[in-house]
Structure 1
Amino acid sequence: MHPDALQAHQQFHIRQRIRMVVNQYQVHAVAPDGSEGGLLAFAQQKRLAFKEQVTIYTDDTQQQPLLGFKARQRLDLGATYDVTDPAGNPIGLFRKDFAQSLLRSTWHLEQGGLPQLTGAERSLPVALLRRFVDALSWLPYHFDFGADGQPAFSVVKKWGLRDRYVVQIHNPQLDRRLVIAMAIGLDALQSR
């Protein structure tokens, strides 16, 4: 899918598929009636990589890259991830705020021409439970991203046996590729 066509979408569903040595993510459009629409993007992440890199493709054939993100450093608790298009041109970046994340996971997202966005888990009790009771990592969570009191987008992990997410975008200027990268990053990188 062309990035301009992707911009028209205000909501996405993301599903994780677990395989032996990789995590796979399917990004679907949401139809006007709320049902899940066609596949917009597909990503695959190798588990236990020393320097995290994820390529997101236009579909599950993995023939045409749409975007990617890559850590600048190896094994850094507050690593910065650069998000680029297939030609390597910057789209934006995101990074985990390690100090803030001790209690409630917090991320910062930057896109040129827009204020820096900060996203944090909405519920402190759920955040604390997920940290201190490892068996509860399946608990749903809700991240709200915004700047200066203005919401930009949200990522909601739903109840279920497999990880499912609903991404709602409020800021029309926000590059959807950057939002997709952050949403997949929340799942892939949250426990690191």
Structure 2
Amino acid sequence: MSSRTRRASVLPALGLTLALLAAGCGSDSPATTAAAEKPAAPASSSAAATAISITDPWIKAADKGMTAAFGTLVNNTDKPLTIVGASSDVSAMELHEMTMKDGKMIMRPKEGGFVLPAKGRHELSPGGDHLMFMALTAPVKAGDEVAFTLKLADGGTVPFTAVAKPYSGAEESYAPDGGMDMHE
């Protein structure tokens, strides 16, 4: 793991640790799936960090260009939450979805963001909704830990870390015009 990825993953982990300490330190669940109390209004970054968790986060290993992150987003609150953006030190990011257009599967920015229903889940998966890395600044190798920050509609932020994995999937080829060719 490079010093860049170590450094990038320490700050979000520290923020999540502090958020869990502030929430009472008594959870017997892992940090990535910790249940949370309702966030105070207005939502702070630490409250948002406990409001949403992600299970099985991972990023597709890539040497250059674009890649994507996946997992299951979990809303631990009694109200719907909307993720409107994402950021990372390794690339500009966008929220993306896959949809059919003129008989062709295309990838495009997700209008309105990802809505997580109260106490609900939202799947990020290859061929579906995902967190898109637009132009990697360095290779993401299998085993690297990559830090992300999700941005919520209420202004809160949620840091997390995903491990890079090799994945060929359907051997998607992302085109700059938003189209996506599926090779079988």
TM-score (ref. length: structure 1): 0.30
Q: Which has more radius of gyration? A: 2
Q: Which has the higher contact order (CA 8 A, sep 6+)?
A: 2
